Structure 1
């Protein structure tokens, strides 16, 4: 596996770990009535590769699972993320760029 793919996987893994942790922190803050993490921050991380960790955080912490608007935006970020990364991978592999 070329180094650039490993770096991309590491980057997405790091964003997933951060996303997962932030979902846990936000759930804890919600329970205690403390300052929350912005939904836009959670969506931003999902969009740029942290969606697997975000998805796991939603399931494990049972957090942000009932807010329909949040879920719709979350799934749009996942879809856009997959389309962009898939398109880039196709382009670079098909045209042997880089």
Structure 2
């Protein structure tokens, strides 16, 4: 269980950092991190870090084509957590 907790800390730190880097690149008109890569890091457990970055940096918060898949991932992960810890 402690390895799962460590994994979640690391993956959420990576997600937060990727969203922050993408926001910096957006401001400087540099090459961006693809939405596919951002959503992939979320799917691997980085949704909380991504959500924090979205709120802190106001990044991807108004883009519906990103928010819909993001919140679908959140719902799926919530259901999985509920099913795992329901026992």
TM-score normalised according to structure 2 size: 0.91
Structure 1, unaligned runs of 5 or more: none
Counterpart of 1:31 in structure 2 is 27
**How big is the shift at 1:12?**
1.1
In structure 2, stretches of 5+ residues that fail to align are none
Runs of 4 or more, structure 1, over 2 Å off, are: 84-90
1:12 to 8, 13, 36: 8
Alignment of 1:11-90 (within 5 A): 11-90=7-86
Higher-Rg structure is 1
User: How much has 1:85 moved relative to structure 2?
Assistant: 3.4
**Alignment RMSD (CA, Å):** 1.2
- TM-score, structure 1 normalization: 0.82
Provide the aligned length of Structure 1 versus Structure 2: 87
Structure 1 Cα separation of the partners of residues 40 and 19 of structure 2: 13
